[in-house]
Every structure is written in C-alpha cells, then in structure tokens.
Amino acid sequence: MNRIDLFKQHLNEKRAVKIIAGIDNFDIENVRKVVSAANQAGASAIDICASEEILNAARQLTELPIFVSSIIPEELAQAARMGADAIELGNFDALYKKGIVMGADEVLELAKRTMSLVDKEDIFVCVTVPGHISVAEQIDLARSLESIGIDLIQTEGAAIANVQSEGARGLLETAQVSIANTIEIARNVEIPVMTASGITSTTAAMAFAAGASAIGVGSCINKLDSSIAMMAVARSLVEIASRNEKREMVRA
C-alpha cells in the first residue's frame, strides 16, 4: 500500500484528519513537534511547507502521508519529485496577512500550471478554494478544478470571519465561514471536500456534518508550546473523526 492510500481510505470513510504545520512555517523544530504529535495521535496525514530540509526531517519521523503546500506550481512539482505524497495549492489564509489575495481565475490557472508540471498518476493533488470569493465563484471554481483532475478541494474562511466573541462562541465564529463553504461546495462536486481554516476540537464535528470528508487543522496545534498538548489535541480530533465514521456507517 502506498502511503497516500491511508489518506484516501480515511477520505472514503469520511474521517480523514490532516494536521497542518503551516505553509509558511520553516521552524524545523516546531515542525518536528507537530509531525510527532500527528504520528502519535494516528492522524491521516501531515501538511508542511515547501522545503526539502523539512520534508526530509518529517519523513524521518513518520510514515504518514505528507502533503506539501505552496502557491508556486514549480515548488509543488519539485516537492513531488522529492517524494511528497501529496501536493496542495494553498492554503491562502496565511497569505492574506501579507496582502496577497487570489481570485478564482488565478487559482485555476495556477492549478492548471501545477497539473502540467507533474505526473498525475504519481501524485495526489489538493487545491484550496479561496474563502473570500463569492459562493457562486467558489462553486464554479470547484467544478472547474474537478474537471481538470484535482483529487481534493479544501475550503477556508477564518481570515475573513467576523469574530467578536471569546471562548466557544469565538471558535464557532472563526470556523463558520469555512464550514458554510463546505456545505455549498460538497453539494456541487463529486470529489471529496476537506474543511480547514479555524477548525478545532470544538468545531470539527460540525465540519463533518456539513459534508466534509476530511478536516485540516493547524493553528490549534502548531501554536502550542508543549509536545504533549499538541498530541492531546491531535488525538481528540482523530477521535471526533472516528465517531463520524461510525455515524456514516449507521446511515449506510
């Protein structure tokens, strides 16, 4: 079995959990902690930045499938050559802070460029649909991405969420845009959808209920100082996902 087959299996079972170190996280010691936590918790995959050094360090720590994220097609193609199990165009939340905003047409062109640079038979490809564009544009983009052979759509929305509360209510406000986008996109494409951006243990079950086959979780883990705390949060997310699989089996 190829490593990515584990993630595909969990996608089919609607219980995939991708732990995200961060598209702009080049702190190798932090990444090692995140990877170790994901590995110990039994996550479905990890997601790292486009760095050969970090990819090699991650591979030494786990046999989990490794996603490499970037907004540069050439970096994604290089990651595929270096042994990444999956490549991801996005997530864009981290880029909004730098004033980088991508529209649907630009994302589609970058996706097409990425696909032209890789052997699609050898690599799993995920693309993030920008959360700031209209729902109609998101649906059109998702359908276009599906038509060119993308394997997985990732949603986002935390960067534009109107968070005004603290505690659990604040967590709900942070995640609501990405979850709402999941509902809209999952209804309109056949390929699986992964909800990311602002997802935590409080909101993970809602993402699955919205139609997600996977969740992508980053800041609620990679911002923690303690390796034990990282592992505990990652394990709680895996447990939530496993409960969703059981609900899906009952429905079937």
Average model confidence (pLDDT) for the chain?
92
- Taking the CB of residue 8, how many other CB atoms lie within 10 A of it? 19
- Taking the CB of residue 220, how many other CB atoms lie within 10 A of it? 22
Decide if 19 contacts 238 (C-beta within 8 A). no
**Run of H or E including 91:** none
CB neighbour list of residue 110: distance below 8 Å, 6 or more residues apart: 71, 73, 89, 102
The DSSP bridge partners found for residue 46 are 19, 66
Domain range annotation of the chain: 3-251
Looking up tokens 């864009």 gives 92
Compute the half-sphere exposure of residue 248: CA atoms within 13 Å on the CB side of its CA. 19
Decide if 132 contacts 159 (C-beta within 8 A). yes
d(CA 85, CA 99): 30
Decide if 92 contacts 71 (C-beta within 8 A). yes
Q: Give the confidence band of 166 by pLDDT, cuts at 50, 70, 90.
A: confident
CA gyration radius, the chain = 16
> Would you call 132 helix, strand, or coil by DSSP?
coil
The burial of 99, by beta-carbon neighbours within 10 Å (0-12 exposed, 13-18 middle, 19 or more buried), is given as exposed
Q: Which CATH class is domain 3-251?
A: alpha beta
d(CA 240, CA 236): 6
Q: Give the confidence band of 10 by pLDDT, cuts at 50, 70, 90.
A: very high
Q: Give the confidence band of 9 by pLDDT, cuts at 50, 70, 90.
A: very high
Give the pLDDT confidence of 19-73 residue by residue, as tens digits.
Answer: 999 999 999 999 999 999 999 999 999 999 999 999 999 999 999 999 999 999 9
pLDDT confidence of residue 100: 81
d(CA 124, CA 114): 12
Give the pLDDT confidence of 169-191 residue by residue, as tens digits.
Answer: 877 777 888 999 999 999 999 99
pLDDT confidence of residue 124: 98
CB neighbour list of residue 30: distance below 8 Å, 6 or more residues apart: 21, 222
Q: How much is the pTM?
A: 0.93
d(CA 157, CA 92): 9
